[in-house]
Amino acid sequence: MQDRTLYEYAVVRLVPRVEREEFVNIGVLLYCRKQKYAELLFHIDEERCRLLHKEIDFEQIYAHLKSIQHICKGNKEGGALAMLDQTERFRWITAKRSTLIQCSAVHPGFCLDAAETHQELMEKLVYS
């Protein structure tokens, strides 16, 4: 029987107008050291986001999210941050910031399969 392993995740939020502190959940960043899994999954409901602010530059948002994906995977396209070890990359990405894209607090859990758990979290926190 396979053992459950610790994972950590943060909800990724789009904050169109930082001063209003309103946001839409657009993704989940999940890290599982034991399974060597670090990934950002995202989905942007553009219509829903425009309800908070009509003038969102979605091209810029997608570029930022893809950059985060490269950093998670350690791809050279992620620049110097992508060269850090997996734990450092996760900590850097989830650090508090006051920008258009923000992460929730980091939450722990236990899973058998990190990728499967990641999809389940997307269903619960982003798609629904």
Task: Please state the domain extents for the chain.
Answer: 5-127
- What pLDDT, in 10s, does the model give residues 77-126? 999 999 999 999 999 999 998 889 999 999 999 999 999 999 999 999 99
Closest by Cα among 55, 63, 89 to 75: 89
Average pLDDT over residues 39-61: 96
Closest by Cα among 47, 45, 38 to 81: 38
For residue 32, pLDDT over 70 is answered with: yes
* 58: confidence class by pLDDT, cuts 50, 70, 90: very high
| Residue 81: per-residue pLDDT | 95
Q: Please say whether the beta carbons of 122 and 39 come within 8 A.
A: no
- pLDDT mean across residues, the chain: 95
Distance separating alpha carbons of residues 68 and 60, to the nearest angstrom? 13
Distance separating alpha carbons of residues 115 and 13, to the nearest angstrom? 20
